């Protein structure tokens, strides 16, 4: 098979790496890819939001399967466009991708499907949103409806902060059309975990729980990033709870969308908050998390091509999706300054030495190949991932591998997985 993976981050390197282990795969293309994917297959310079370009590429190369890494192409209708050309695509239709593409759609689906989520209101006009925030008081959460590169959510500690956020979104239009509509919701307190499932429209197959570290600095302080590290499983969501959790947050969504004639096929990612009153869904994503994908795919023991094809064919109930009982931990190595401005073009050394350590895989994110050398090209540069018999073991191995890797202006958190270790006692 020839497979086209869309995207160019650490998640996509992990997808290419796992897919390439399948005996069914002859060639992998990645658009646009990065330094890591270039070492597995061929990078093609088509951007992830260029739907006609991606469809043309898939046709020209006669690919057998397209795998969408990020949400943007899915929200823009990549799966629909490929369906029109009879090219199999792993990832939901544009309608179903609205679970991530529109917070208002997502919250309404949750409410209709009976999924626990914080009470909310949707606003298309500025003045009523202001009045509602003043009435409710702080803390309160303001969310831009559309995709805003992870920056559209403000957990406001004061009414002023919440009003500034709505003003920014609806009047100043800082997020463009993504902020024309806003969701205002109650703040939840607790610990977060990610629960990710393969879905075929009717059935689901669960991946183990995982947890990422969104804040840039140690102790979960500083601004939010795409994720500075992740591990699986998350002690807060142990295996005994998987089945009931899936019945709470995965099954109702599949039923609801199937009943609407828009079955969900692909990855459904529930972002959960464990509050005093139990788990509540913060958000859905329609793709793997980055960096959760890296530890999860390190653990996956089933052929990923088989799982993806079963999702497309609606036969997920006929295969078993299994993961090693080992723990995996991934530490993101970034550029100093990220998520603000940061330097690029640093030459990276020690990748081979790190990869040679037992149970270690270095996934590349913001990198490119330049004259045979790997140089940085983004804020999150690598996700150094390791398997271990325990979380402590996986963490130790990941940091040993991190020590082997060098480049100027390197920054990483030294406390990835500490949250989970604390819970384990």
Q: Determine the Cα–Cα distance for residues 204 and 202; give it in Å rounded to an integer.
A: 7
Residue 285 in the binding site for ligand GLY (CB under 6 A): yes
Report the partner that residue 290 touches, choosing among ligand AMP, ligand GLY, none (CB closer than 5 to 8 A by kind).
ligand GLY
Cα separation, 15 vs 361, in Å, equals 13
d(CA 86, CA 81): 9
Binding mask 259-298 for ligand AMP (x = CB under 6 A): ------------x----------xx---------------
Q: Which residues contact 240 (CB under 8 A, 6 or more apart)?
A: none
Indicate which single residue of 39, 118, 174, 409 sits in contact with ligand AMP (rule: CB under 6 A). Answer: 118
Q: Is 48 in the site for ligand GLY (CB under 6 A)?
A: no
* 17 neighbors 34 (Cβ within 8 angstroms): no
- DSSP annotation of 207 reads P
Alpha-carbon span 70 to 201, nearest angstrom? 19
Residue 187 interacting partner from ligand AMP, ligand GLY, none (CB closer than 5 to 8 Å by kind)? ligand AMP
Asked if 8 touches ligand GLY (CB under 6 A), the answer is no
Nearest CA to 12 out of 54, 63, 67 is that of 67
Please select the residue that binds ligand AMP; options are 188, 267, 298, 309, rule is CB under 6 A: 188
By CB under 6 A, name the one of 197, 212, 327, 377 that touches ligand GLY: 212
User: Which helix (H) or strand (E) covers residue 408, if one does?
Assistant: none
Which of 76, 141, 304, 333 touches ligand AMP by CB under 6 A?
141
Binding status of residue 289 toward ligand GLY by CB under 6 A: yes
Q: 248 is in the binding site of which of ligand AMP, ligand GLY, none (Cβ under 5 to 8 A by kind)?
A: none
- Shortest separation between residue 137's beta carbon and ligand AMP, angstroms: 15
Distances (CA, A) of 144 to 80, 110, 169, 243: 25, 17, 7, 32
DSSP string, 174-203: TTGGGGSSEEEEE---SEEEEEEEEEESS-
Name the minimum Å distance from CB 9 to ligand AMP. 17
100 is a contact residue toward ligand GLY (CB under 6 A): no
Q: Which two tokens stand for residue 4?
A: 């086209």
> How many residues make contact with ligand AMP (CB under 6 A)?
12
CA distances (Å), origin 314, targets 191, 262, 318, 328: 34, 13, 9, 29
Q: CA-CA distance, 394 to 360, in Å (whole number)? A: 9
192 lies in the site for ligand AMP, by CB under 6 A: yes
| Interface mask toward ligand GLY for 225-254; x: CB under 6 A | -xx---------------------------
The β-bridge relationship of strands 221-224 and 215-217 is antiparallel
Q: Is 292 among the residues that bind ligand GLY (CB under 6 A)? A: yes
Binding of residue 12 to ligand GLY (CB under 6 A): no
Footprint of ligand AMP on this chain (CB under 6 A)?
Answer: 118, 141, 143, 153, 155, 185, 187-188, 192, 271, 282-283
């Amino acid at each position: 098979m020839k497979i086209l993976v869309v995207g160019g981050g650490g998640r996509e390197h992990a997808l290419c790496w796992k897919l390439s282990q399948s005996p069914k795969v002859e060639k992998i293309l990645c658009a646009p890819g990065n330094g890591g994917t270039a070492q597995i297959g061929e990078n093609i310079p088509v951007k992830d939001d260029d739907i006609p370009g991606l469809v043309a590429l898939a046709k020209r190369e006669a690919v057998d399967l397209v795998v969408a890494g990020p949400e943007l192409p899915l929200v823009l209708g990549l799966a629909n466009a490929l369906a029109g050309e009879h090219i199999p695509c792993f990832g939901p239709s544009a309608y179903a991708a609205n679970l991530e593409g529109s917070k208002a759609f997502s919250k309404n689906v949750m409410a209709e499907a009976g999924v626990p989520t914080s009470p909310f209101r949707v606003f298309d006009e500025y003045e009523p949103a202001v009045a509602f925030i003043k009435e409710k008081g702080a803390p309160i959460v303001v969310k831009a409806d559309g995709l805003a590169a992870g920056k559209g959510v403000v957990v406001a500690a004061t009414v002023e902060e919440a009003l500034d956020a709505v003003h920014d979104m609806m009047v100043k239009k800082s997020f463009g059309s993504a902020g024309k509509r806003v969701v205002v919701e109650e703040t939840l307190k607790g610990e977060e975990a990610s629960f990710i499932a393969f879905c075929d429209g009717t059935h689901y197959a669960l991946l183990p729980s995982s947890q990422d570290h969104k804040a840039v600095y140690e102790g979960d302080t500083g601004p939010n990033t795409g994720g500075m590290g992740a591990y699986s499983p998350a002690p807060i969501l142990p295996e005994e709870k998987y089945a009931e959790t899936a019945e709470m947050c995965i099954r109702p969504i599949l039923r609801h969308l199937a009943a609407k004639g828009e079955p969900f096929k692909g990855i459904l990612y529930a972002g959960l908050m464990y509050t005093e009153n139990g788990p509540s869904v913060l958000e859905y994503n329609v793709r793997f998390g980055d960096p959760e994908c890296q530890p999860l795919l390190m653990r996956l023991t089933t052929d990923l091509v088989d799982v993806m094809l079963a999702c497309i064919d609606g036969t997920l109930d006929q295969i078993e999706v299994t993961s090693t009982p080992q723990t995996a931990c991934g530490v993101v190595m970034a550029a100093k300054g990220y998520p603000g401005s940061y330097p690029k073009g640093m030459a990276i050394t020690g990748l081979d030495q790190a990869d040679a350590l037992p149970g270690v895989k270095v996934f590349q994110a913001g990198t490119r190949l330049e004259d045979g050398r790997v140089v940085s090209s983004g804020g999150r540069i690598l996700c150094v991932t390791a398997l271990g018999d325990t979380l402590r073991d996986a963490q130790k191995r990941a940091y040993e591998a991190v020590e082997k890797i060098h480049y100027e202006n390197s920054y990483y958190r030294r406390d990835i997985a500490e949250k989970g270790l604390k819970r384990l006692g």
